[in-house]
Each structure stands twice: as C-alpha cells, then as structure tokens.
Chain A
Amino acid sequence: RKEVEQDPGPFNVPEGATVAFNCTYSNSASQSFFWYRQDCRKEPKLLMSVYSSGNEDGRFTAQLNRASQYISLLIRDSKLSDSATYLCVVNRSGYNKLIFGAGTRLAVHP
C-alpha cells in the first residue's frame, strides 16, 4: 500500500463547479501536510499547507482529519486556470522528507 493515496482522476468539470479531492495517508507519525499543484511539464508549487483546524485561501479550502488520516482539498468556483495535477504531500515528524501522492488531475472546461 502506498504511503499517500489519491484518486488519480481525471476530474473533468465545467467552469464554476465545486470539486473536492481526497487523500489518505498510512503513517500516523505524519506531522505536516500540504497540497501542491503541478502543471504539465513543470515543477510542483505549493498551493497551501493543511492545518488541523482546517484552513481556507480564497476559493480553496483544506481539511485534515488526523483520526481518519484523511486530507481534503475543496475548490469552489473552478476556473480554467485551475486545470492541473494536485499533489497531496505529507511529512513525518523528524523525517525530513516529503512523501508525494500520485496526484489527482483536474481539467476545467468552458
């Protein structure tokens, strides 16, 4: 079983739609959580960190459920420019490595 699992998608949604991505992680020692965005043939870029209390940044909302070892990303009012692959990333305490999920592809169409 992979340490970080994501639905690979693709998610094909119209502009303005709300879309949710899910991610589960297997190691309970994981301490830090992130969502990265990767455009085709580009490097990943941090979208947002994920905090236990949940956090929001504009149209993006991230949630963390430590008991279920589950992370989510909600995108509201999707834009064409949101089309990308979204990577769920975890970091274990004292283990200075980021573990990446396989990513979920999002395609927003007019």
Chain B
Amino acid sequence: GAVVSQHPSWVICKSGTSVKIECRSLDFQATTMFWYRQFPKQSLMLMATSNEGSKATYEQGVEKDKFLINHASLTLSTLTVTSAHPEDSSFYICSARAPDSNTEAFFGQGTRLTVV
C-alpha cells in the first residue's frame, strides 16, 4: 500500500526556537496533504490542508503565522512550528490521500514534539 513518511519521529527543542517537520508520500503523488495535532488522550484535530503549489487552508483557531506549511512538490509537505512554546508540545501527524478522494488516508508515523 501507499506509504507516507514523516520525519523526525521525535524532537525536543527550546522555547522560542522553530521546528520543521517533513511529510513525504513515497509511492504516489499527493496534491493534498493534511496536518493533524493530537494531545494526550484526545482525538486527531485537523490543523490545515496543504495544497501543492498554493497556500495551505487552515482550520479555525489555527494560527497560520505560527504553523507555516509549505507544499512545494507533489511528494513533500513541511510544517514549521515557529517560536515554539511548551503548550505546542504535542503529537503532530501528517496524512495524504490518493487522487480518489474517497479512499483511505495514509498517515505518517507522527512527530512527538516536546518544547522545554
């Protein structure tokens, strides 16, 4: 099946620094990728939809200037958490769907971010 690779799997950073997370679709072209955040014992919350070659679409309440998304190619989307704070510590997961919109989504392995 299709594979989505996410990197890094975990990162610890200091408050005020920025962290970049990469999401790659390995065997299909993903014009759209999705970024989720999951706090402990809570469900995945969609943060934004990443569109190749255009601006990302952010969900209500998600700061676009804090969570920068770049989708420069059909196989790579990046999420940069800028000026990270401890409350940004969470599990960030990307996903991509094959061109048929009704098919399953494939998820990256997730990135556990800890801001100290």
| Number of A positions contacting B (CB below 8 A) | 20
In angstroms, Cα B3 to Cα A46, docked, is 13
Q: Could you tell me if A102 and B42 are in contact, using CB atoms closer than 8 angstroms?
A: yes
The total number of A-B Cβ pairs within 8 Å is 45
Instruction: Give me 16 other A-B pairs in contact (C-beta within 8 A), A43-B109, A96-B101 excluded.
Output: A34-B104, A41-B110, A42-B109, A43-B107, A43-B108, A43-B110, A44-B107, A46-B105, A91-B101, A91-B102, A96-B32, A96-B49, A96-B97, A97-B34, A98-B105, A102-B43
Q: CB within 8 Å of A: which residues of B?
A: 6, 32, 34, 42-46, 49, 91, 93, 95, 97, 101-102, 104-105, 107-110, 112
Whose C-beta in chain A lies nearest to the C-beta of B44? A100
Whose C-beta in chain A lies nearest to the C-beta of B4? A43
Q: Could you tell me if A46 and B104 are in contact, using CB atoms closer than 8 angstroms?
A: yes
In angstroms, Cα B102 to Cα A66, docked, is 17
